């Protein structure tokens, strides 16, 4: 009975989190649970079960056909605490920017698409390029989903500044640096991970490019919507970037988004909002 009460309490608290907090919590939980199981097995001299085997993504098409869920589940397990930490830090920062402008369900779609397309890049690259012949190392980590959100914001608001240690850097330069790093590291180490990143990069860039053109690609996935999602309250992101603009017009557009969603904007309103976010 006490266990049920604790479960209900946990479920209630989890339901109160926003979508970003839920994604981060799931990643942390799925990292901690295997560690607890492995510790118990060690203490009682029980052979360690390979829990990750059922979740990680292997680099061959045959395996993917028999375990299609791994194309998504690999993105929620991590190889080390450092791997998890840096992915969640980047996800938190850039998703916070994203949620200042767009809906929670759009973040889910973008993050999920990044993971799936990154996984497909990984599998087909290992089947296509001779250099990977015989390599069977599986892929884990949310990096492809994270990078899709990062590149989306770097493309949609390229002139917005981010604080990196003691320097202010425009998002566009940060995005370019991350892409170059992945390309340079391909022949050095973790080739599969960097290939998956490039899949996330493609999705992030394409989605943001289409959004800036007035075409929200997330509309095509509305029928797969996972439950209801409230409109996200627009915070200070645009306000802090709209100095010198017609603030009254920007406020009206933000109010319209809060009431009816981003898709209710006209092309002129989307253009005005985009210009305000870039200055």
CB 192 within 8 A of CB 139: yes
- Over residues 158-177, the mean pLDDT reads 90
Measure the CA–CA gap between 209 and 112, rounded to whole angstroms: 18
Domain contains 137:
yes
Cα(270)–Cα(276) distance, integer angstroms = 10
Whether residues 253 and 162 fall in one domain: no
Q: How confident is the model at residue 278 (pLDDT cuts 50, 70, 90)?
A: low
In a domain? residue 13: no
Q: What is the pLDDT of residue 215?
A: 87
The tally of domains found in the chain comes to 2
Q: What is the CATH number of the domain that holds 181?
A: 1.20.1540.10
Q: Supply the pLDDT for residue 30.
A: 94
Residues 24 and 114 in one domain: yes
Q: Report the percent of the chain where pLDDT is more than 70.
A: 86
* 60 token code pair: 């061959």
Please check whether residues 99 and 24 belong to one and the same domain.
Answer: yes
Least confident of 36-50, 204-218, 245-259: 245-259
On whether both 83 and 190 belong to a single domain, the answer is yes
Arithmetic mean of pLDDT over the chain: 85
Using pLDDT thresholds of 50, 70 and 90, give the confidence band for residue 156.
very high
pLDDT surpassing 70 at residue 244? no
pLDDT of residue 228: 40
Q: Which of 179-183, 229-233, 242-246 has the lowest mean pLDDT?
A: 229-233
As a whole number of angstroms, the distance between CA 77 and CA 29 comes to 9
Q: Quickly state the pLDDT bin for 53 (edges 50, 70, 90).
A: confident
Let me know whether 149 and 265 are in one domain.
no
Q: Provide the strand spans (E) within the chain.
A: 161-164, 167-170
Which structural domain range is residue 32 located in?
Answer: 18-224
**Same domain assignment for residues 155 and 219:** yes
Tokens found for residue 15? 């339901």
| Structural domain contains residue 48 | yes
Q: So what's the pLDDT on residue 235? A: 42
Residues in Cβ contact with 219 at an 8 Å cutoff, skipping those fewer than 6 apart: 263
Which whole number is the average pLDDT over 237-253? Answer: 60
The pTM is what?
Answer: 0.78
């Amino acid at each position: 009975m006490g266990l049920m009460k604790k479960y209900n309490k946990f479920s209630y608290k989890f339901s109160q989190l926003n979508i970003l907090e839920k994604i981060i919590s799931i990643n942390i939980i799925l990292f901690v649970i295997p560690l607890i199981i492995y510790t118990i097995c060690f203490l009682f001299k029980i052979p360690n079960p390979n829990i990750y085997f059922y979740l990680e993504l292997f680099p061959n098409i045959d395996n993917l056909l028999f375990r299609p869920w791994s194309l998504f589940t690999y993105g929620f397990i991590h190889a080390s605490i450092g791997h998890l930490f840096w992915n969640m830090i980047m996800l938190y920062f850039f998703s916070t920017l994203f949620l200042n402008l767009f809906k929670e369900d759009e973040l889910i779609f973008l993050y999920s698409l990044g993971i799936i397309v990154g996984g497909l890049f990984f599998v087909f690259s290992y089947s296509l390029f001779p250099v990977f012949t015989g390599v069977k190392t599986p892929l884990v980590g949310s990096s492809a989903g994270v990078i899709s959100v990062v590149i989306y914001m770097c493309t949609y608001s390229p002139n917005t500044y981010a604080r990196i240690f003691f320097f202010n850097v425009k998002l566009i330069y940060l995005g370019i640096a991350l892409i170059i790093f992945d390309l340079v590291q391909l022949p050095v180490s973790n080739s599969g991970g960097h290939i998956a990143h490039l899949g996330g990069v493609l999705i992030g860039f394409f989605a943001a490019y289409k959004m800036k053109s007035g075409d929200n690609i997330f509309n095509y996935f509305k029928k797969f919507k996972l439950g209801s999602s409230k409109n996200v309250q627009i915070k200070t992101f645009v306000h802090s970037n709209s100095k010198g603009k017609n603030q009254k017009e920007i406020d009206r557009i933000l109010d319209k988004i809060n009431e009816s969603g981003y898709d209710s904007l006209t092309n002129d309103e989307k253009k005005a909002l985009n210009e305000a976010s870039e200055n």
